[in-house]
Structure 1
Amino acid sequence: MFRKLCDREGTPTVSLDKDELRMDGILDEDGVVPDDQEMHIQRVGKRSYLVRAVDSDGIPELDEVFQR
């Protein structure tokens, strides 16, 4: 899936798919984003970025992320 990089008041942003966020329990059934949900964005290489949802245990380790 391709998403366009957008400029939002000087900040580059990319939207995430609501259905996938809902599957992971980040959004509720109504598609509402919790006010306190933090996301960790990490540059992992040239033109490559990793986005991870932060939960009460912190940032998921990479070996957890790529076990799928």
Structure 2
Amino acid sequence: AYHTATRRLPPHLETSLDTISALVHSTQGHLETSLDTINALVHTTQGHLETSLDTVNALVHATQ
């Protein structure tokens, strides 16, 4: 579902989502709740993620 959503996004957003994906793998699943939130965000915004990605970025920094 994650990569399916990524394919629907404009190219300039794919890099940001790839970064999130890398974060998923590097944390070995310790961010499951946060990632559920990100996944829901991707689907509900239908690709309009400029503002939402700022929220995700804040979330990423908060979990480090």
TM bin (shorter chain): under 0.3
TM norm structure 2: 0.28
Calculate the TM-score normalised by the size of structure 1: 0.27
* Larger fraction in helix: 2
Q: Which has the higher contact order (CA 8 A, sep 6+)?
A: 2
Which protein is bigger by CA-based radius of gyration? Answer: 1
More strand by share: 1
